[in-house]
Each structure stands twice: as C-alpha cells, then as structure tokens.
Structure 1
Amino acid sequence: MPDADPRRTPALWSPLASPDVVVVATRDIAAIPLPPGLEPLANESSPTEHHLVMAYGAARLRLCLRAAPSGFSDCLIIQHDRSAATRLAAATRFERVTRGIRLGPDRSASPSAYRRSRLALLLSIHDALDAGAGPRDLAFSLVFPRQHPLVGATWKGSGERRHTLRLIAEARRLANGGYRKLLRHD
C-alpha cells in the first residue's frame, strides 16, 4: 500500500514483482542458516509463505521462505524470466551471507545516479501538478530552471514545451502504476 507508513508496514514484495527477493523452499523455516545476530527488519507470515527483510551490514536481504514437501532437501527457486540474472545475483548474495561473507550495498538493485535524479524530477513534476502548476510553470521552475520563461507563440512551438509535456506524461504513467517496473529493474 503506497500510503502506508513504512515503519509500521514495510514493503514485503512478492518474488514475482521484485526479482531481488530470494525464494527458499525448506522443510524447516527456522533452520535457514543465517549469520548469528542477524535481526529481521520486517517479518511477516502468510499461510503459505514467510517473508523476511534483513540487514546485513549495508546490504539488504529479502527472503520468501516456502514450505517444501517432506523428503525434499532445501533449495533456492529461481524463476526463468527476463529478470533471471537479477534473481541469480540475489541468490548468490544470499549464499554469501549464509557463509558469513560481508557484503556491500547491492548496486544491481538500485538505480544509477542519472536514473535517481530523473525519478526525483518526475516525482517533483507530479507533486507540482497536484499542487496546480501548469506546464509552463513546470518547464521554467523544474525542467529548465536557468532559462528565461518563454511566452506566447514562442512557448507554444518550443522544444522546451514538448519536452515538458513528455515529462508530464511520463510522471503520470509512473504514478499510475509504472512504478512497478522499478521493482523489476527495467
């Protein structure tokens, strides 16, 4: 739920929605080998799954533990899809943690500096639209802040206007569900 307070209801993503969630099928959820002193940041259970979000140094681990049928050994489940490489990287990080190897932040699961600044711009545009700003206001306060405002026909036919309108459309798509692509690292 996007409006929920993350301190009270942290995001526990489905492995289908977020490829950095490691799915472990195990006979005994309590027997998953984790380093001593590792405390979960979030811990939630459903009838079929147990979700954990854990901090290990600067790294974050997201686990989805599922009960395996008796007679089966513990295994990692990696879905074969376009995010398979990200799923494999997350599984490798989990395996390193179970061996006690210290990890740094996962760069593959976070956007680049350019992508972060673009997302921040799109969020600012969306917030300004909600506050009642028009395209020209957005263009010369957020998109082209060092440029003098254009007026009349000059504004109407400008590349600045077309670029601002494209950014507005992208911000609206992102707010209307496009943010889910961020979880898949598209």
Structure 2
Amino acid sequence: MIIVETANPAPPLIWLSSCKPLAEVSTSDGKHLVYARDSYRLRLCVRFRSALPVPAVSIPCDETYELRIAAVTRMHLIARTNSALPQSAHVMTRNQRLRLTRFLAIHDALEAGASSRDLAYGLIIPNHHRLVGATWKASSERRQVLRLIAQARSLVSGGFRDILLHR
C-alpha cells in the first residue's frame, strides 16, 4: 500500500489519470483506493493534510520499507509511461541486489586502498588458494577481479542512476 498525503481531496490524483479506479472506501483518516492499469494494481491510502502544496508520498520506516519503495517506483513507472512494463522491470531480484551490494563493497575497498589481489582473496574469492607472481598475472581469477573492479567504478561514476530509473 502506498500512503499519499494531499491537501485537496476533490480532484483525482493527476499522475494516475491513465489508471482505472476499481474501489474506493472513505475512512476517518482519508480514502483507501485501488487503481488498475492493464494487469497492475495500485493500493493507495490517501490522507488529507491541509498544509501540503503538492501531493507527497509517505514511507514509514518499518519492516515494509523496501516493499513500499518498490510500490512507489512501480506507481511512478506505470503513471509516466503509455505502455505496459513487464513486472521484472520494476523490482530488483535478490541476486541483483547482492551483485550491486558486492560492487559497492568492491568500490569501498578500493577507496580504502585495497589492491586487486587483496580484493580477490578477501572479498571476491575468499576460499580460493592464493596465486603468486606470474601465475596470478596470467590467471582467470585476476581477469575476473579486474572486470568486477571496472563494473564497480562504472556503477559509482554514474551507472547507479540507470538502476534507480529502471533503464
């Protein structure tokens, strides 16, 4: 459920004009709405706050925080596009989150002064036996580490915006 706070309860939420209202229930704290677009459903709790100049989304910091962020992102994508988007374009999988977390850990280690070999045996392949000298230079492990370092640097230098905007 997405919590939307707005000052004016009368007009429909403009950014959901392309969606079809399915249900509406008024309560003491506002309205509970269900909107649909294609196969997507958006559940909204609209609360009225007279001091707000524009509608705002409220996200409580509780155990559903990540789900609410994903729901708001999905609502934004549905509202801003004219075509249906696949479900996978909206929410990152567990493996994607782990991979991005790994990239950020690699970047942090590089910023702290770690070498590619330190990264390999401390973070990327910690249970692997250490390679030394020419064996390390010619190894596929070294090439893998260098690829991951390049991807981490690319992510931090601006690629994270593409992830946040689902591009």
TM-score w.r.t. the length of structure 1 is 0.52
Within the candidate set 127, 150, 156, 2:137 is matched to: 156
Report the number of matched residues.
Answer: 121
User: Which one has the bigger helix percentage?
Assistant: 2
SS state at 1:133 partner = coil
Q: Cα deviation per residue 1:20-71 (whole Å; 9 max; x = unaligned)? A: xxxxxxxx9723367356459xx986xxxx452234975343678xxxxxxx
Match in the other structure for 2:72 = 61
Match in the other structure for 2:23 = none
For residues 53 and 136 of structure 1, do their structure 2 counterparts lie closer, same or farther at Cα, with a shift above 3 Å needed? same
Within the candidate set 91, 102, 107, 1:110 is matched to: 91
Q: Which runs of 4+ in 1 moved over 4 A?
A: 36-40, 55-58
* Structure 2: stretches of 5+ with no match in the other structure: 1-5, 14-29, 33-44
- Structure 1 position 183, deviation (Å): 2.0
TM-score w.r.t. the length of structure 2 is 0.58
Counterpart check, 1:133 vs 2:110: no
SS state at 1:180 partner = helix
SS state at 1:53 partner = strand
* Structure 1: stretches of 5+ with no match in the other structure: 1-27, 65-75, 90-105
Is the 8 Å Cα contact of residues 109 and 119 (structure 2) preserved in structure 1?
yes
Match in the other structure for 1:101 = none
Match in the other structure for 2:128 = 147
% identical aligned pairs: 37
Distance 2:140 2:114 in 1: 19
